[in-house]
Structure 1
Amino acid sequence: MADKKRILITGAGSGFGEGTAIGLAKLGHQVIAGVQISPQVTALRKKVEELGLEANLRVEKLDILDTYDVNYALTWDIDILFSNAGIGEAGPVFEIPVDLVRRNFETNVFAPLHLAQQFVAKWIKEKRKGKVVFTSSMGGLFTPDGFGIYVSTKHALEAVAEAMASELKRYNIQVQTINPGAYLTGYNETMADNPFRWLDDNKNFTKRAEMRATFDSLLGTPQGRLDPNEMIEAMIKIVPADKGKFRNVVPKFVEDMLKEHQQKAWDVTI
């Protein structure tokens, strides 16, 4: 087990972020759980109290798009930034409104990069070791129909993280990605509902029933509804570790699928 660390987790109001925050606190790490909205603060603080984790788990409002939240977060003394916050926009790439694309990139790429840059600068100035872990996705390495915009943000995050990992080695700052498969946290299901806010059978080439069938084919199978506890357990091990792989795909069958997909990509024709 790695030494006890001070860890900030963004997007900790639910799902992977919340579960990992609780798990790391139970192991004795000092964790700050950053959540997007005030009701999440209240709910998670109550859960922390019920679990008796007040000494190790602090809950703070941290909307990564809120300048005041971010400036406050930068006053916290941490060893590891686990950049987990994100949103997902789905739907056909050739029809999705571009303002939704911009919003997805702002939340999933620009804001996480900006926050990471500032913590990295602090560590470099203080001549301290540090670590940034980005929650990417299996979709950071391939592109299924209907999810092209969301996974394009994760493709971008993969490039950002890979460059940072190389650039920061000389400063003793580590960078990793975690690439979850299709775990049943509600995140993917909510993302699959988002296009139906704007898809209109009278206007769009892609019909609503067709889009729903595409999502059901991906998320309605056992492989699309994995137990999130498996991923949380992996995150609890990966995030505080001093050694490990740069890219961490879970579960193993998804890693194998991605490797096969990437190999076959060299032979794709138009």
Structure 2
Amino acid sequence: MSNTKTILITGAGSGFGEGVAIGLAKLGHKVIAGVQISPQVTPLREKAIDLGLQDNLRVEKLDILDEYDVAYALTWDIDVLFSNAGIGEAGPVFEIPLGLVRRNFETNVFAPLNLAQKFINQFIVGKKKGKVVFTSSMGGLFTPAGFGIYVSTKHALESIAEALQQEVKQFGIQIQTVNPGPYLTGYNETMAETPFRWLNDEVNYTKKAELKAVFDAMLGVPEGRLDPNEMIDAMIEIVPSETGKFRNVVPKAIEDMLKENQKNAWEATI
């Protein structure tokens, strides 16, 4: 791969995806920013023009669950797939409706795997030393109560990425994950609202006020509201790089916390 790359980013309509798309375009990379819904297309195209990035930042509708969007995306010649799109369902694992669980896995696991498989096949056929980077999460490495379903999708993605890394290395294809800590993009806060559309105090054992207090304690403190620009800057460096770690947890304090948590897990009791 050359220093300047063509990079497809999914979930580029907001948050990390949008920030990384703009940042990589500023560095001279050719970026295809895939956004989930049509109303996100024009605003990002206009932002690209305002920033003078229209030659490097192409915006396309790419809903990773839409077979026609995916088929169109596979006509693009890329060097790097940054698989960033995802959704989050929160709430108690023992009560959450299974339909929501299935949808979370469809979006966060099956659809990214489908897209990765197809682009990896193109890399192999074209004898291209391509790269796939998955946005995982700090939650891919530990499980806080109330977020079990969402982080289980990220645990699955971690396993998929780890296996892929070993399997496609023979073809010169690179695989990485990026694992954001609790950055304030609005993603975690919105996810924390999801169970309140189905929880019913008259039916469920988990009461709304109790769950809200748990989420507020996690997300309402400075440690749960980090500046997302730190993560965006890290992603901009990691995604196009041809060297680096397989797993990339940011910030370092969260990496240290996760390592300690995993160590302590061996001594956990029931």
Which of the five TM-score ranges fits, normalised by the shorter chain? over 0.9
| CA RMSD, Structure 1 to Structure 2 (Å) | 0.5
Report what 2:7 is aligned to. 7
User: Secondary structure of the equivalent of 1:32?
Assistant: strand
1:96 Cα offset (Å): 0.2
Shift of 1:217: 1.1
Aligned residue type for 1:180: P
Find the residue that maps to 1:96 and give its secondary structure.
coil
Q: CA deviation at 1:178?
A: 0.2
SS of alignment partner, residue 168 of structure 1: helix
Counterpart position of 1:19: 19
Percent identity, aligned pairs only, is 75
* Distance in structure 1 (CA, Å) of the matches to 2:120 and 2:91: 35
User: What does residue 104 of structure 2 align with?
Assistant: 104
| Equivalent position of 1:114 in the other structure | 114
Shift of 1:131: 0.2
Q: Which 4+ runs in 1 deviate beyond 6 A?
A: none
Q: Distance in 2 between matches of 1:264 and 1:57?
A: 45
* Aligned equivalent of 1:86: 86
Amino acid at match of 1:205: Y
For residues 122 and 106 of structure 2, the distance between their equivalents in structure 1, rounded to whole angstroms, comes to 23
2:39 corresponds to: 39
Counterpart residue number, 1:187: 187
| Aligned counterparts of 1:139 and 1:204: Cα–Cα separation in 2 | 25
Q: 2:48 & 2:4 partners in 1: Cα distance?
A: 19
- Identify the residue that residue 56 of structure 1 maps to in structure 2: 56
Task: Please give the secondary structure, in 2, of the residue aligned with 1:182.
Answer: coil
In structure 2, give the amino acid aligned to 1:99: G
Equivalent runs, 1:209-220 vs 2, <5 Å: 209-220=209-220
Residue deviations 1:85-109 (CA, integer Å, cap 9, x gap): 0000000000000000000000000
In 1, Cα distance between equivalents of 2:43 and 2:99: 32
Q: Give the Cα–Cα distance (whole angstroms) in 2 for the partners of residues 4 and 221 of structure 1.
A: 39
For residue 52 of structure 1, report the CA deviation from its aligned partner.
Answer: 0.6
* 1:140 matched residue in structure 2: 140
1:176 corresponds to 2:176: yes
User: 2-side partners of 1:137 and 1:128: how far apart?
Assistant: 28
CA distance in 1, matches of 2:209, 2:128: 54
Match of 2:72 in 1: 72
Corresponding residue pairs, total: 269
Distance 2:217 2:172 in 1: 44
Amino acid paired to 2:201:
D
Query: Which letter maps to 2:60?
Result: E
* Distance in 1 (alpha carbons) for counterparts of 2:165 and 2:50: 38
Output the amino acid matched with 1:266: W
Partner residue of 2:242? 242
Counterpart AA for 2:250: V
What whole-Å deviation, never above 9, does each CA across 1:208-259 have from its counterpart, x for those lacking one?
A: 0011011011101111000000000000000000000000000000000000
| CA offset digits 1:170-218 (Å, max 9, x no partner) | 0000000000000000000000000000000000000000110110111
For residues 28-65 of structure 1, give each alpha carbon's deviation from its aligned partner in whole angstroms, at most 9, with x where no partner exists.
Answer: 00000000001100110110110010110000000000
In the aligned structure 1, how far is the partner of 2:45 from the partner of 2:128? 30
